[in-house]
């Protein structure tokens, strides 16, 4: 496709974004017209975004400023989500890998492109790119990546972040406000209230069969006992600098 065709395609597809995902529609886009998540790394020379590689420092800056990792917009404490998988969401010692985002970014990620807000993939596949800009070229341009059978989106009531050599890791309060189960871009189940406690109880039972509590990390109990409820990094004045200092060790 020439630049005029790409531009035309982008304008046409953006009409749907404006209607359904206004925060995503307002985001900066790459030359193909694809929105660029706020926490991605960029080439230091030309600024080209690496869609699946997050910038650790930028990620900390965002969530410590109460901003969505994807859209860069202000997070409402009643609308803070993580996208993960069942094995990490429900066992006490499961660390979440992907940054907190708003509900709109969560919906866009799971309905349009599962790897838009999820790390560990080095590029968008052609299928994913076309989902966001439908008239982009059909030409194959690289690897295909298998989507996990099931994603889980959890609305949290608090969390804390831990920088590591592999990137940020997140400890959520497992007193989730809501749980959504997604497959193939469809939300199959939504669980609230007592159903959340039942899911966590099942996760705890599974954890006890795989690892005795004496071997759990110190923060595992904290993720279950409610002590993270209402705990937000942006509400702790010294947290941002502490996390940045730790993150710079891995830079």
Kindly report the number of other CB atoms within 10 A of residue 151's CB atom.
23
Q: Exposure of 114 by Cβ count < 10 A (0-12 exposed, 13-18 middle, 19+ buried)? A: buried
Q: Looking at residue 174, what is its pLDDT?
A: 95
pLDDT for residue 124: 42
- The DSSP line for 81-102 is EEEE-HHHHSSTTPPB-S--B-
Is the distance from CB of 157 to CB of 231 less than 8 angstroms? Answer: no
Summarised one tens digit per residue, pLDDT across range 199-237 is 999 999 988 988 888 888 888 999 999 999 999 999 998
How far is residue 147's CA from residue 121's CA, in Å, rounded to a whole number? 11
Mean pLDDT of 179-198: 93
pLDDT tens across 138-160, in order? 333 333 334 567 899 999 999 99
Please say whether the beta carbons of 13 and 33 come within 8 A: yes
Instruction: Give the pLDDT of residue 173.
Output: 97
**How would residue 134 be classed by pLDDT, with cut points 50, 70 and 90?**
very low
């Amino acid at each position: 496709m020439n630049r005029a065709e790409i531009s035309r395609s982008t304008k046409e597809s953006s009409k749907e974004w404006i209607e359904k995902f206004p925060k995503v529609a307002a985001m900066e886009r790459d030359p193909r017209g694809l929105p660029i998540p706020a926490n991605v790394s960029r080439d230091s020379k030309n600024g080209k975004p690496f869609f699946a590689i997050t910038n650790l420092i930028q990620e900390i800056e965002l969530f410590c400023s109460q901003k969505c990792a994807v859209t860069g917009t202000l997070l409402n404490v009643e609308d803070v989500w993580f996208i993960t998988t069942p094995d990490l969401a429900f066992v006490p010692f499961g660390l979440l890998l992907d940054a907190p985002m708003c509900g709109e970014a969560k919906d866009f990620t799971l309905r349009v492109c599962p790897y838009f807000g999820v790390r560990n993939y080095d590029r968008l596949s052609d299928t994913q790119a076309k989902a966001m800009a439908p008239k982009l070229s059909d030409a194959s341009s690289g690897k295909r990546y298998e989507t996990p059978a099931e994603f889980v989106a959890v609305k949290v009531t608090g969390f804390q972040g831990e920088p590591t050599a592999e990137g940020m890791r997140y400890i959520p309060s497992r007193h989730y406000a809501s749980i959504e189960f997604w497959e193939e871009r469809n939300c199959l189940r939504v669980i609230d209230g007592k159903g959340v406690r039942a899911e966590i109880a099942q996760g705890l039972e599974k954890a006890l069969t795989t690892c005795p509590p004496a071997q759990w990390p110190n923060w595992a109990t904290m993720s279950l006992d409610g002590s993270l409820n209402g705990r937000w990094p942006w509400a702790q004045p010294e947290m941002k600098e502490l996390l940045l200092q730790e993150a710079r060790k891995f830079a």
